[in-house]
């Protein structure tokens, strides 16, 4: 997981808009000429309740209620004034919205951890007629029949859900500590609470293994929250973030800023062994052996090495690329010749698209999918010519929070770092308030601006 926020204009991109007329199939609706009233609600199923999924659901809800979308930065049209009855259902394995970018701080601060997970039942933005959520996972999607099979997380029972439009925003399967493995907020707080207690109690310090964005940010946040705790980061390559397509200047600056926080950095060393050993007082103690033969004794070991896996086992192989990501057009709908192509969309990390995976792009893709679904609906109901929004190719760009500074890179601005970068990209809460406000998650729909 790359923990960063790229919502600022300098890190974003301008979607292109184009018009086209297509013959589309849709359920039969009865409309009252000139009034924009439709008798049968349109059913939209959104799989995934994180950045991309919530962005798609909430922006589409705005559009279908005739209002300007809340993501005004990418709004191609504005409010149509036409109210279209819609039922939008969000399905997610978790019981709430989890701010993924905040994971490093959530693993160091119990106060922040509690804030970082908001149950869907407590989310003001979802408390609107026509919006609902369910905790479950997708077993199968039949794109020809517009039907999905869902396994209820609590009961384990499967049920079928039909839809007119499907938005897939399931993201990637990531391991701890990139994301919590718990599916409820209660279990998550117990999970993070145990981890934080172990970090605080580690008598010989903490060793973080892996120098990707996860490892760098986890190590930096622990050192920032617990400045007296010894923190060591071990990375197998000579430069941090070695797997990312980024210039050496950015990687070198990241290492420099990390060292400034007080984290000890060991590079070009692989961990060959990690074993628990006996301590004199019974406290946890581990011996970490490196490829050079050097040994480190520590009270806590955090593995920040894992490969993210696309969560697309429920999709037909014909819809996936060689790596398991969903193939899409630049209008977010599936890249297929099927007549149902304009009924199926994929956004966020699960989509096969250029650029480093990040939440800013996921929210933008969710909004663009919502705008284009709305255009398809208007065409089917009223015969209007759709104005579709295209998502551009995205060059590598990134921002990581390293203690009290951020290190950023974009093709236009090059590498920058400092406290101002942290405030611009993350503020004081690892982007929690920026994402929360951008999607207006704390605002009940009836009070949003028309």
User: In Å, how far from its chain's centre is CA 125?
Assistant: 18
Those residues whose C-beta lies under 8 Å from the C-beta of residue 317, and which sit 6 or more positions away, are none
DSSP string, 102-167: GHHHHTT-HHHHHHHEEEGGG-GGG-STTEEEEEEEEEEEETTTTEEEEEETTT--EEEEE-SEEE
Residues with Cβ within 8 Å of 444's Cβ and at least 6 positions away in sequence, in order, are 124, 125, 127, 128
| Three-class secondary structure of residue 184 per DSSP | coil
> 171 in helix, strand or coil?
coil
Confidence (pLDDT) at 337: 83
Residue showing tokens 């969560």: 311
- Evaluate if residue 62 carries a pLDDT over 70: yes
**Residue 105 contacts by C-beta under 8 Å, 6 or more apart in sequence?**
112, 116, 221, 225, 429, 430
Q: What are the pLDDT digits (tens) for 216-240?
A: 999 999 999 999 999 999 999 999 9
Phi, psi of 447 (to 5 degrees): -105, 5
Other Cβ atoms closer than 10 A to 133: 22
pLDDT at 79 (0 to 100): 75
401: nearest Cα among 208, 262, 214 = 214
pLDDT in tens, 267-279: 999 999 999 999 9
User: Is 206 within 8 Å of 298 (Cβ atoms)?
Assistant: yes
State the residue for tokens 């929690």. 432
Facing residues of 351 across strands?
A: 326
pLDDT of residue 3: 34
Return the axis-axis angle of helices 213-225 and 248-260, rounded to nearest 10°: 20
Query: Residue 91 corresponds to which tokens in the numbers above?
Result: 């399905």
CA separation for the pair 348, 364 (Å, rounded)? 8
- pLDDT reported for residue 77: 56
Backbone angles phi, psi at 99, to 5 degrees: -80, 95
Return the DSSP state at 393: P
Quickly list DSSP for 11-38: G--PPEEEE-----------EETTTTEE
**Cβ neighbours of residue 48 closer than 8 Å, sequence gap 6 or more:** 90, 91, 92, 167, 168, 169, 170, 171, 348, 350
- In DSSP terms, 416 is beta-bridged to 408
Contact between residue 363 and residue 439 where contact means Cβ atoms under 8 Å apart:
yes
Q: How far apart are CA 251 and CA 235, in angstroms?
A: 13
- Stretch among 171-175, 237-241, 407-411, 441-445 having the lowest mean pLDDT: 171-175
Q: Cα–Cα distance between 205 and 16 in angstroms, integer?
A: 51
Yes or no: say if 374 and 60 are a contact pair by the CB < 8 Å rule: yes
Please give the Cα distance from 233 to 267 (Å, whole number).
Answer: 8
pTM of the model: 0.90
CB atoms near residue 80 (< 10 Å): 19
Q: How confident is the model at residue 160 (pLDDT cuts 50, 70, 90)?
A: very high
Radius of gyration of the chain (CA): 23
Give the model's confidence band at 80: pLDDT under 50 very low, under 70 low, under 90 confident, else very high: confident
Distances (CA, A) of 135 to 139, 140, 222: 13, 16, 32
Going by C-beta distance under 8 Å and a sequence separation of 6 or more, which residues neighbour residue 104? 3, 177, 214, 217, 218, 220, 221, 401, 430
Give pLDDT tens digits for 279-326.
999 999 999 999 999 999 999 999 998 778 888 999 999 999 999 999
Distances (CA, A) of 341 to 303, 338, 375: 41, 5, 14
């Amino acid at each position: 997981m790359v923990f960063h926020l790229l919502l600022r204009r300098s890190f974003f991109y301008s979607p292109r808009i184009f018009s086209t007329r297509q013959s589309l199939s849709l359920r039969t609706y009865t409309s009252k000429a000139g009034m924009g009233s439709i008798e049968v609600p349109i059913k939209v199923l959104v799989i995934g309740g994180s950045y991309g999924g919530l962005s798609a659901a909430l922006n589409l809800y705005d559009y279908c209620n005739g209002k300007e979308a809340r993501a005004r930065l990418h709004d191609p049209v504005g409010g149509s004034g036409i109210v279209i009855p819609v039922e939008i259902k969000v399905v997610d394995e978790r019981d709430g919205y989890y701010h993924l970018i905040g994971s490093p701080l959530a693993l160091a601060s119990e106060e922040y951890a509690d804030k970082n997970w908001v149950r869907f039942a407590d989310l003001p933005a979802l408390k609107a007629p026509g919006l609902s959520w369910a905790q479950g996972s997708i077993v199968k999607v039949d794109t020809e029949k517009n039907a999905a099979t869902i396994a209820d997380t609590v009961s384990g029972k499967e049920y079928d859900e039909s839809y007119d439009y499907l938005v897939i925003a399931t993201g990637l399967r990531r391991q701890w500590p990139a994301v919590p493995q718990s599916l409820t907020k209660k279990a998550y707080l117990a999970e993070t609470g145990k981890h934080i207690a172990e970090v605080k109690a580690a008598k010989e310090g903490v060793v973080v293994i892996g120098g990707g964005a996860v490892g760098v940010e986890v190590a930096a946040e622990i050192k920032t929250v617990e400045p007296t705790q010894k923190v060591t980061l071990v990375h197998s390559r000579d430069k941090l973030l070695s797997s990312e397509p980024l210039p050496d200047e950015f990687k070198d600056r990241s290492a420099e800023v990390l060292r400034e926080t007080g984290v000890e950095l060991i590079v070009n060393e692989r961990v060959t062994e990690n074993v628990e050993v006996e301590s004199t007082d019974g406290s946890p103690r581990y011996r970490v052996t490196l490829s050079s033969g050097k040994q480190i004794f520590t009270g806590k070991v955090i593995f920040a090495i894992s490969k993210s896996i696309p969560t697309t086992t429920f999709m037909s192989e014909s819809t996936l690329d060689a790596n398991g990501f969903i193939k899409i057009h630049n209008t977010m709908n599936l890249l297929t010749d099927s007549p149902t192509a304009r009924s199926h969309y994929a956004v966020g990390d699960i989509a096969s698209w250029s650029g480093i995976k990040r939440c800013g792009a996921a929210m933008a893709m969710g909004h663009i999918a919502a705008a284009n679904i709305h255009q398809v609906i208007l065409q089917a109901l009223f015969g209007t010519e759709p104005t579709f929004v295209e998502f551009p190719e995205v060059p590598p760009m990134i921002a990581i929070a390293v203690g009290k500074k951020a290190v950023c890179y974009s093709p236009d601005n090059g590498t920058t770092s400092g406290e101002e970068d942290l405030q611009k990209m993350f503020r004081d809460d690892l982007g929690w308030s920026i994402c929360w406000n951008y999607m207006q998650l704390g605002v009940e729909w009836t009070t949003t601006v028309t």
